[in-house]
Amino acid sequence: MSFFKEAGDSLIKYTEKLVNKTEEYAKIGKLTLDIKKLESGIDKIHKEIGEYLMTKLHEGADSLSFSDQIIQERSQSISDNLAMIKSKRAEIEELKKVKPAASPSQPSGDISGSQPPRQDS
């Protein structure tokens, strides 16, 4: 009967590991999707800046100042997105570093292996 109990305990232990790993991958996937959205936002802002520049050129402007309100706002948006991307990449790295806690079925005490193997006489 203990065989079935051990088999059941093992099944539960590995199912828990599978669920934890799946949750980790889901979190990483969501963060990766968030990063892609932010990168897409940056591309959109770059396009807006280019369109703004071309509009100004077609209107006859001979220069464009970096202190222009539109340029400043768009530049700040890009900086904000880059900061969020950096933060999300750091989160992903932390998730990848986290190791699951020891299983409750593992014996406590000395795990260094310094105890001699048990010999039955």
pLDDT (tens digit, 9 = 90+) per residue, 11-57? 888 888 888 889 999 999 999 999 999 999 999 999 999 999 999 99
Q: How confident is the model at residue 8, as a pLDDT?
A: 82
Higher pLDDT among residues 50 and 4, named by residue: 50
Ramachandran class of 45: left when φ > 0, alpha when ψ lies in -120 to 50, beta otherwise: alpha
Contacts 24+ apart (CB under 8 A), 69-73: none
| Radius of gyration for the chain, computed over Cα atoms and rounded to the nearest angstrom | 28
pLDDT tens, residue by residue, 80-115 = 999 999 999 999 999 998 765 544 444 444 444 444
Distance CA 102, CA 25 (A): 20
pLDDT at 118 over 90: no
Q: How confident is the model at residue 5, as a pLDDT?
A: 80
Higher pLDDT among residues 105 and 68, named by residue: 68
Instruction: Tell me the longest C-alpha to C-alpha distance in the chain.
Output: 100
Read off the pTM.
Answer: 0.68
> What are the boundaries of each domain within the chain?
2-97
